[in-house]
Structure 1
Amino acid sequence: MKFAFCLYKHFPYSGLSRDMLRILQVCKQRRHQVDIFTGEWQDKPCENASVHVLPVRALTNHSRCALFHRHLRHALLGQKFDAVIGFNKMPGLDIYYGADYCYIGRAAPQYGHLYRLTPRFQYRHHFEKSVFGLQSKTRILSISEREKSVYQQFYLTPEERFHLLPPTLDPNRKLLKDPVPIRKETRQQLQLDAKLQVLLFIGSGFKTKGLDRAILALAGLPDKLRNNTRLLVIGEDNEVPFRKLARRYRVDRKVIFLGGRSDVECLLTAGDLLIHPAYHENTGTVLLEAITAGLPVLATDVCGYAPHIERANAGSVLHSPFEQSILNQRLLQMLESPQREYWQHNGLRYAQNGDLYQMPEAAMDQIEHWSTERQQADAANVHCQIDNHENLPINMYLRPDIRHALPEKSSLSTILHINGESVRKAPGRRTVKTAIGGKQYFLKAHFGVGWAEIFKNLSYLRLPVLGARNEWHGIHHLKRIGVDTLTAAGYGITGLNPARRQSFMLTEDLTDTISLEDFCRQNWVGKQLRGQDLVFKRSLINRLADIAHAIHSNGANHRDFYLCHFLLSCADMGNSNTPRVFLIDLHRMQIRRSTPKRWSIKDIAGLYYSSMDMGLSQRDLFRFMRRYRRNSLRQIIGTERLFWARVRRRAVNLYHTEQRKSAQLATSSVTVNPA
């Protein structure tokens, strides 16, 4: 077969470039022909492929990428390739090797709304949508299950277009010799004393991979330990701002920039800890390289390969939301921990797993399969379709098992009118419980709220709920930050008119659960709890505080944060260690860069209001405050008195308002019989 490999830039220290060369090596072994099209080739001549360097001169990075794509289209004209394979996102690809994180989901939210008007955003969004959009036919070789869900959240990409690859670990990075003399020799070459603690930071994207965080963590070490520690920075990027940062915190003599290196396996042996506090990282192959070299790892959970650290028990993972103080504390603990030898042995044992090294072969198998499928379709003079994808509207996602269980060619309108047991009905929307394929689901259908409802909400300075979009994004957001919630099985939306927009949300039924409101009323009200019951009560309070902390620290707020919207797993009732609690009813949820204080107050006040009659003590409230703020009660009362006063005032006002409404309702329902 004949393939075209396309990437913007090739240089030897890029993980993406190394992945491409490893796949290229398998192509050669299988006697395929490959042409590489790139805008820049910073390496020795390639023996396994014809390299075409396209001229790309422009002032900005996105302009260079757009110019490269324009030249690439002309270069591909008249040539017949079995597949055009892109290692960067661009239009016209048959297959995309998905090494990049989702731009619209990860990077764009960091900026304001005006940023969406810039040429940079327009270009990157267009190129990303050309690969992942529902109108695209591009197949995706995904190397991160986590990032795949982000793409599906924003582009509704069908499951059938993805193929998940095994880890991208290169067996050539394994150190086959005795590491002790190599460690000694490497340290001598770098003029590092054997007694020094050596931190490694490896990666060519200094900003994205969190070099600033690593420098601040080094600066935060106690004086004695900091003076005995060095941070080696390996990779090619702009060093100037990070040198300035190190100088500002007086650790510039302890941060050593080595540039790009080809002896990374030796450097891993010379180090004592890999620090990788990334902001965004689709995978983080260097994490696996460090683990399998016996080097303990400290990384953030945004890295796609972070779960391998926990599976191997070869280091520590910082869970979102990121806090610099926690990184500083964890770094200190790891440098002084007696477990370092234990982590090292665990990593070396984990390296024996052969599945870690199979990515190139697995990628090539799938490329050949898709290319053969396309050839057969062309020979039959039919266009290759993706498992009924042509029957879906361009604004609907259905999980494969749901789509196969529904009647063929089910449209959005058909799903909106699925019948079932009515659960809730309101103007413009309804919720039914229905069975699909032998399983129970909840369908929330929105038919448009009308302009009157929109203006009514706006008059009260409230954003109206226009459909299922909030819940769709809320479910994905909560799952990424580790909060148990509903499982989405389908979502669809249509219409530009906000007053008449139709949408639906299909979620799995959470079986064997009980509302926390019902549980508390049945088990806490009017009872003196002791022993295991008291311990479980405290565990539940801690869990609710953890959920509130997680969503508010990650830019979200619920807007209906009441006990009735938490479901407790009956299987975990009485389990004082990890009671599983699900947060539901996300149709009003908001997600921003950061959660405004007033919305945090509204959420916490709602939770407090709904628990006022549940038998909580003052100690229970203090326990929640400590856990939610991750601080001592003394500091909370000293610095956040106004915040908690506003929470209490709002909760009490809401409680009295609801009491008056209940009294009025009871009075109006009384009838007087005639004499």
Structure 2
Amino acid sequence: MKLAFCLFKYFPYSGLSRDFLRILIEAQQRGHDIQVFVSQWQGPRPEGIPITVLPTYRWMNHAQNATFHRQVRKHLREQEWDAVIGFNKMPDMDIYYGADFCYIGRAVPRYSPLYRLTPRFHHFFTFERAVFSTQKSTMILSLSEREKGVYQQFYGTPENRFHILPPTLDEKRRVPPDPERVRAEMRELFGVSDDQFLLLFVGSGFKTKGLDRALQALSALPDELRERCQLIVVGQDNPACYQRLARKLKIGHQIRFLGGRSDIPESLTAGDLLLHPAYSENTGTILLEALTAGLPVLTTDVCGYAPHIDHANAGTVLRSPFVQAALDEQLHHMITSPERETWSVNGREYGDDPELYRMPQTAVDLIEDWCLKQRSQFPQQQVVENEEGVSLYIREDLKAALRTRHDFDDMMQIDGEVFRDAPGRRTVRLTRDGKSYFLKTHTGVGWQEIMKNLLYFRLPVLGAMNEWHGVHHLHRLGIDTLNIAGYGTTSGNPARRRSFIVTDEIAASISLEDFCERWKRSPPKTAREIRFKRWLIHRLAQISRDMHNSGANHRDYYLCHFLLQRHGDPENLSPENSRLFVIDLHRMQIRRRTPTRWAVKDISGLRYSSMDLGLTRRDIYRFMRIYRSMPLRQILAKEKFFWRRVESRARNLYEAEKRRAELRQLTEPGAQPVRVRPVQ
């Protein structure tokens, strides 16, 4: 088979470049005719493989990538190819090796809306869309289930286009023979004595890999323990700003930057702990390399290979959202823990699994299968594209339950029990095959609503997209929320944009506002009731903390937008048989960090909706302590202004609602207080 392999830049210390070379050699050994296209090649070249270097004389990365793609496309058109395999996202690829994280999934919450107007954003978004759009047919060799879900969240890419590859471990990078001797030699080379604790940080791209977090954690150790530690940083990047940070934290004498190295397996044997608190990492091959070397690992759950650390019981994985104090605490624990030897043994045993080393063979198998299918379908059939401008996702069980066509217009017209019917938005409950769903349809907010929001420096809510992204975001945080069965949206005119979202009904549930209504008449008194109330407060504080720490805020954060799911006897509730779900996410915002004003808005909404429930000062203090994850004394000393704003805003909301209720009584004698009906 005649195969073209495309990679922007090859350099030997990159995990992507190593994967590229291994797949290349595997394909060559099977006798395929191979041609490589790169813009740069650093290091030795493989024998017998023609490599075409296409220089890109541009200053910015995105301009270099665009120039490289134009040159590659010109060369590709000169010959016939069985398959064109890309290792970076770009148009015209038949197969994409998915080692990168989702760009738009990272850029949208991280940067302001103005960033989307830049040439850089436009380039990376269009190149990514050229691979993952539902209008394309590119086969995707994915390395991470987690990142696959992010791509599907933003692009709706069909499941059948993804093929999950095994881990990217290389047999040649396993622990060398006689590891004790190698460990002693490497520690002597690094100048680390036997009584010192050697932390390793390995990876090119210090910012993404979280080197700043690692330095902060080291500086937070107790003085005596910190002085025993050395941190060695291995990777190709500019260390200047991190050297300044280390000096500022007064740990500059304990940090050494060694640059890129080829003796990673030997270096790992010298270490006592791998520190990898990454901000984002599609895979993280170094985690598995450390694991097989018997080196305990401390990492974050954003790494695609982090679940292997849990499965092997070979270290600690910090859950999202990231909290620096949790990293500080775990680093101290792992340095002093007697479990280090157990983690080391577990990692080496886990690394003996041969399936961890089969990535190149599996990748080439899939490439060959794709080529054979294309030949059998020659002349190639046209890919059936979705209606232009429409994104559509329908879960398989809902497709089967509907038993009719389920295109976008059909979904928008489904009827059921009406729960809400407001201008531009409608919610109905439908039951199919004994299972209930909620369908929310949006038919456009109009230019007046858009301009009103913009005048208040707020982004308008244009449809179901916020809820779609909000549900995925909360699921990744481990927060109970809705399960999506269907979603669709049009593009074009924002004032008339139509969309829908279908979610499963949360069975055996009650709104938290309705559940707590009884507390107004009869506050919790028995030990069981008080224990359950404290669990609810604890859970509300946890959800609020995790959501805000992750950069998200709800905007309608009231008790009526929590559902309490109860199992067993509803009169004998316990935390063990109860779950708390966050619902109504259609106004949720997701950023890199949650601004204080939006955190105040959310927490004051909770406080306002609980003012008549007879909560004690101790209950409020309990919420504050869990929400901030710090001692109450410290909260009262350092965060008075934040909590005063929360209380003031909640009081204002409460007084305004009282005035509205009094006005309704005057204008409509006998009118009952209006309460919002929660919709899942």
The reply to whether TM is greater than 0.5 is: yes
> How far did residue 260 of structure 1 move?
2.0
Secondary structure of the equivalent of 1:52? strand
> How far did residue 463 of structure 1 move?
5.6
* Cα separation, 2, equivalents of 1:173 and 1:539: 48
**Contact preservation (8 Å) 1:210, 1:276:** yes
> How far did residue 29 of structure 1 move?
4.3
Please show how residues 194-205 of structure 1 align to structure 2 within 5 Å.
194-205=194-205
My pick for the range that moved more, 220-229 or 33-42, is: 220-229
Residue 254 of structure 2 corresponds to residue 258 of structure 1: no
Please show how residues 212-291 of structure 1 align to structure 2 within 5 Å.
212-291=212-291
> How far did residue 394 of structure 1 move?
3.5
| Corresponding letter in the other structure for 1:481 | L
Q: Report the equivalent of 1:585.
A: 584
**Contact preservation (8 Å) 1:102, 1:151:** yes
| Corresponding letter in the other structure for 2:168 | T
Please show how residues 429-508 of structure 1 align to structure 2 within 5 Å.
429-435=425-431, 439-454=435-450, 464-508=460-504
My pick for the range that moved more, 84-93 or 188-197, is: 188-197
Q: Report the equivalent of 2:675.
A: none
For structure 1, the residue ranges without an aligned partner over 5 or more in a row are: none
| Corresponding letter in the other structure for 2:606 | L
**Contact preservation (8 Å) 2:9, 2:40:** yes
Q: Aligned pairs, how many?
A: 668
Residue 625 of structure 2 corresponds to residue 626 of structure 1: yes
**Contact preservation (8 Å) 2:567, 2:577:** no
Q: Report the equivalent of 2:639.
A: 640
**Contact preservation (8 Å) 1:291, 1:309:** yes
Secondary structure of the equivalent of 2:78? coil
1:513 is matched with which residue: 509, 523, 528?
509
* Cα separation, 1, equivalents of 2:180 and 2:525: 58
* Cα separation, 2, equivalents of 1:533 and 1:283: 45
TM-score by length of 1: 0.92
**Contact preservation (8 Å) 2:135, 2:386:** no
**How much is the aligned-residue C-alpha RMSD, in angstroms?**
2.6
| Deviations, residues 275-322 of structure 1 (Å, cap 9, x unaligned) | 011121111111111122211111122212222222222212223333
> How far did residue 266 of structure 1 move?
1.5
Q: Report the equivalent of 1:33.
A: 33
**Contact preservation (8 Å) 2:109, 2:590:** no
> How far did residue 520 of structure 1 move?
2.5
Residue 416 of structure 2 corresponds to residue 420 of structure 1: yes
> How far did residue 33 of structure 1 move?
2.6
CA, structure 1 residues 229+605, in 2 after alignment: closer, same or farther (shift >3 Å)? same
* Cα separation, 2, equivalents of 1:249 and 1:461: 38
* Cα separation, 2, equivalents of 1:296 and 1:465: 45
**Contact preservation (8 Å) 2:520, 2:612:** no
> How far did residue 462 of structure 1 move?
6.6
Q: Report the equivalent of 2:610.
A: 611
1:530 is matched with which residue: 518, 526, 530?
526
Q: Report the equivalent of 1:652.
A: 651
**Contact preservation (8 Å) 1:526, 1:615:** no
> How far did residue 461 of structure 1 move?
7.6
| Corresponding letter in the other structure for 1:212 | D
> How far did residue 536 of structure 1 move?
2.5
Secondary structure of the equivalent of 1:609? helix
Secondary structure of the equivalent of 1:587? coil
> How far did residue 533 of structure 1 move?
3.2
CA, structure 1 residues 289+671, in 2 after alignment: closer, same or farther (shift >3 Å)? closer
Identity %: 54
CA, structure 1 residues 431+355, in 2 after alignment: closer, same or farther (shift >3 Å)? farther
Q: Report the equivalent of 1:397.
A: 393
* Cα separation, 2, equivalents of 1:99 and 1:126: 18
Secondary structure of the equivalent of 1:582? strand
For structure 2, the residue ranges without an aligned partner over 5 or more in a row are: 672-680
| Corresponding letter in the other structure for 1:635 | Q
Secondary structure of the equivalent of 1:479? helix
**Contact preservation (8 Å) 1:4, 1:84:** yes
| Corresponding letter in the other structure for 2:533 | K
**Contact preservation (8 Å) 2:217, 2:331:** yes
* Cα separation, 1, equivalents of 2:50 and 2:577: 57
| Corresponding letter in the other structure for 2:438 | F
* Cα separation, 1, equivalents of 2:509 and 2:65: 51
My pick for the range that moved more, 446-455 or 67-76, is: 446-455
Secondary structure of the equivalent of 2:495? coil
**Contact preservation (8 Å) 1:399, 1:490:** yes
> How far did residue 176 of structure 1 move?
5.7
**Contact preservation (8 Å) 1:313, 1:343:** yes
Residue 159 of structure 2 corresponds to residue 163 of structure 1: no
> How far did residue 354 of structure 1 move?
3.7
| Corresponding letter in the other structure for 1:629 | R
Q: Report the equivalent of 1:187.
A: 187
My pick for the range that moved more, 122-131 or 648-657, is: 648-657
> How far did residue 622 of structure 1 move?
0.8
| Corresponding letter in the other structure for 1:533 | E
* Cα separation, 1, equivalents of 2:303 and 2:36: 29
My pick for the range that moved more, 453-462 or 308-317, is: 453-462
CA, structure 1 residues 585+78, in 2 after alignment: closer, same or farther (shift >3 Å)? same
CA, structure 1 residues 575+275, in 2 after alignment: closer, same or farther (shift >3 Å)? farther
